[in-house]
Amino acid sequence: MMKTLLLTENAEDIASAAELIKNGNVVGIPTETVYGLGADACNENAVKAVFAAKGRPADNPLIVHIADFSQAEKYTSYVPALAYRLAERFCPGALTMVLPKNESIPLITSGGLDTVGIRVPSHRAMHRIIELSGCPIAAPSANISGLPSPTCAGHVMRDMNGKISAVVDGGVSEYGVESTVISFDSENSVRILRPGAVTPEMLSEICRDVIIDPAILNELAEDASAPSPGMKYKHYSPKANIIMVEGNYNNFIKYIRENEKDNVWLLVFDNDSTEFPYRYMTYGADSSQQAHLLFHRLRELDEAGAEKVYVRAPSKDGVGLAVYNRLIRAAGFEVIKV
Ligand code: TXA
Ligand code: MG
């Protein structure tokens, strides 16, 4: 066990966080999507410590965070023209581009792959930490592997206290779901490997074709190879058994009344009627509020001791696709349509 410092966003603390990372330590860092566990992406021992702190399988690669997209060339062997066009619009921001890596990124960082996911985060403290550390920062979400991603410093402390050097409190994450991960299928087309705050509609403004990988909404067959290793693992999963029910509110509540006693929990929308005998939480009224609140609620449901939770399925439009994707994974790909 080590002592985990809780740092603020003031200049001195940011400098300490950067110094810790530069010296090979692991630090919980805020970003606009979710909190990350940051370490020098080129330091094999530091990256090993990240995998150990999370309990993450070694074949699941880490995203490398840089201060400006122009630096992508330092860590990759080829950057397609389309990537630069996307960077103009979405960097800094919630977009991770998978590109062929060069030898400066160790295989341990890339989970043994010959590619690396590159992201330029917009969170000011995070941006400053990258600049001051002088290194590219490898950072997966700062949760214990398999648990919901952390969207505030308290979540990171709960999962990582005693395992890492420090956590920087940069407030509640603006988006609340992880970045959109894309790969390049051809000169004009991208494939979404994980949906996030940069939506398919937004990508379509720049790319001719935007392919939504089928594994985003469907379970991978056991013998299928995953275009992104993260697709293979059960993610975002709280302790409670999550059941997704898709349909309007009346059908949703009718289904639960017919099938359950009053010992289950419900996760419903803000404007839903709550005239039912069940304990419940709400997670917003539109997709961006749902993204902002989802991981927070999943953690709160665990703390409340919820064992079985019926969730009203969100819309798949816009950032809703990301919310739906996290929930369907938490639910083990089962959706009840009513
Ligand atoms: O918003 C985010 O992306 C946050 C913050 C901290 O930046 N990071 C994050 O990292 O969510 P992580 O490791 O929890 O999720 C990264 C996902 C994993 O599912 C991984 O498999 C996929 O991105 N990924 C990373 N590098 C990849 C690569 N080279 N090829 C395919 N998938 C990759
Ligand atoms: Mg993660």
Convert the pLDDT of each residue in 13-57 to its tens digit. Answer: 999 999 999 999 999 999 999 999 999 999 999 999 999 999 999
Whole-angstrom Cα distance, residue 108 to residue 47? 7
Mean pLDDT of the chain: 96
For 224, what's the count of Cα atoms within 13 Å in the CB-facing half-sphere?
12
Name the one residue in this structure whose structure tokens are 């665990």: 302
Q: Is the CB of 113 under 6 A from ligand 1?
A: yes
pLDDT of residue 239: 83
Q: How far, in Å, are 6, 7, 133, 242, 327 from residue 171 at the CA level?
A: 12, 12, 21, 28, 24
Domains of the chain: 5-216 (3.90.870.10), 241-337 (3.40.50.11030)
Q: Is the CB of 179 under 6 A from ligand 1?
A: yes
Q: Is the CB of 47 under 6 A from ligand 1?
A: no
Single-letter amino acid, residue 318 = G
Residue 233 in this model has a pLDDT that exceeds 80? no
**What kind and span of H or E run contains 309?**
strand 308-312
Q: Ligand 1 pocket check: which of 60, 63, 126 to mutate, most ligand atoms within 8 Å of Cβ?
A: 63
Q: Is the CB of 198 under 6 A from ligand 1?
A: no
Residue 309 in this model has a pLDDT that exceeds 90? yes
Residues near 309 by beta carbon (within 8 Å), at least 6 away in sequence: 240, 241, 242, 243, 264, 265, 266, 267, 301
Closest Cα to atom 6, ligand 1: which residue? 36
pLDDT of residue 15: 98
Q: How far is the CA of 62 from the centre of ligand 1 (A)?
A: 6
Q: Is the CB of 56 under 6 A from ligand 1?
A: no
Take residue 7 and report the two structure tokens written for it.
């740092």
